[in-house]
Amino acid sequence: MRMFLISDNHDTQTGMRLAGVEGVVVHTREELRQALESAIADPENGVILLTEKFGREFPDLIDDVRLKRKLPLLIEIPDRHGTGRSADFITSYVNEAIGLRL
């Protein structure tokens, strides 16, 4: 199994290529849909890395894949501008998931 990147900028793609991860750069909803379909169709892709921008702008596309398929695993990564999440996002996520305040 290998990783595949779907990014919204060339800097992230270049950095990941240096680490041995191939990928594509897309900008529109339709390009993202096509890239996801293509990446999912390749049985060698076990993990698809997506920049966080896609999760914010097109959550329905990402969630649809996550809900309907076990593999490949979709992982959102920060892009060159850093993460869009707050500093305590993990604690907030756990609090929300278990219903207790940590």
Hey, what are 19's tokens? 């680490």
Summarised one tens digit per residue, pLDDT across range 53-93 is 888 899 899 988 888 888 899 989 887 665 666 656 556 65
User: Both tokens of residue 44?
Assistant: 């060698």
CATH number at 51 reads: 3.40.50.10580
Enumerate residues 6+ apart whose C-beta is below 8 A from 56: 84
**Which domain does 41 fall in, by range?**
2-98
Per-residue pLDDT averaged across 7-36, rounded?
Answer: 93
Task: Say if residues 30 and 58 touch (Cβ distance below 8 Å).
Answer: no
| Residue 19 DSSP one-character state | T
Give, rounded to a whole angstrom, the gap between the first and last alpha carbons of the chain: 37
- Is the whole model's pTM more than 0.85, yes or no? no
Domain count, the chain: 1
**Which amino acid, 83?**
T
**pLDDT at residue 69 in the model:** 86
